[in-house]
Amino acid sequence: MSLRYDALKILSDGGFHAGTQLGAALGISRTAVWKHLRALSELGLDIYAVPGKGYRLAQPVELLDAQAITSAMADDARALLGGIEIHPRLDSTNTYLMQQAGSGLASGYACLAEYQEAGRGRRGRNWVSPFGANIYLSLLWRYTLDPAQLGGLSLAVGVAMARALRAAGVDGIALKWPNDVLWRDRKLAGILLEMSGESFGASTVVVGLGINCRMSKEAGTHITQPWTDLEKILGRHLSRNALTALLLSEVLPVLRDYQTAGLAPLLDEWQSYDAVRGKTVTLQLPNQSITGVAAGVDRDGALLLTRGGVTQRHLAGEISVRVA
């Protein structure tokens, strides 16, 4: 995809570029230019072709840039960054880091993609991933904790995401247990944790973060729940590089501190964002559904559900929460 990506870099300014100029810059023929631009259109990019003017994107695209991201990060978080990769196209950033985890990557290693062919959410759901429109970020972290001690990690990451979004100017953020970031009851972002490790042993965790920055109506038709994006909320463009820097600045320290402190220091803050506390909810378990009143979460990250005067704990696993 290198030539297509190089062509996209030229077109990213939103201006017209003649086919001959593109061909000269890329070292290919005008016919090859047309073929590469058609392939970009198949990724969901709107490209106009106007006789006498050339080609341009329907709107400018800010491509992700490692230097722009790292230079905008807070100093303490930059020291925790184990490395950063940006790919034009991947099946899934989470899948990629899980596959690379055995190669000795350091804690804090980050992977971003402009486009995911098989982006994933919880319970095997598809995460809609149009090219250059949103943030698809995964982080690797290594713990001496075993997987059973990481039940509250997705909630801790949710607090970090809420902080980053507030720093970007987004008010009204809510968190829905265990991994959804909402704005006015519409999904704005999500978290997907995948881990490897053995009971009573060390764990390697890949934390996937997805944020809707600018989702077209066409792409949004594939989303099966109410959703929104940052441009709709803010009424303006928000730099994806700047937002990624904010995310890394908030999430990396939280991943580090979870090793020794767990969820406890963030519990009250998470409760302040709780989207369902006090509401009647239905938990979709693998083999049954149960309904009760959400009563917050405990220090291990379990959802507390009250039924018939009895409060029970439910750990995330393969559970989905719906407001009744």
Residues carrying an active site annotation: 122, 187, 322
Q: What is the separation of C-alpha 24 from the centre of its chain, rounded to a whole number of angstroms?
A: 37
Distance of CA 205 to the CA centre of its chain: 15
Tell me the H-state helices in the chain.
Answer: 2-11, 19-26, 30-41, 66-72, 75-78, 93-100, 153-167, 217-220, 230-234, 240-261, 267-273
Cα 239 to chain centroid, rounded: 15
Q: Which two structure tokens, joined as six digits, stand for 53?
A: 């003017």
SS3 at position 253:
helix
Nearest in space to 150 (alpha carbons), one of 273, 317, 269: 317
The total number of residues shown for the chain amounts to 324
3-state secondary structure of 257: helix
Return all residues near 217 (Cβ < 8 A) that are at least 6 apart.
none
Instruction: Determine whether 31 is exposed, middle or buried from the number of CB atoms within 10 Å of its CB (0-12, 13-18, 19+).
Output: exposed
Helix (H, G, I), strand (E, B) or coil at 193: strand
Cα separation, 14 vs 3, whole angstroms: 18
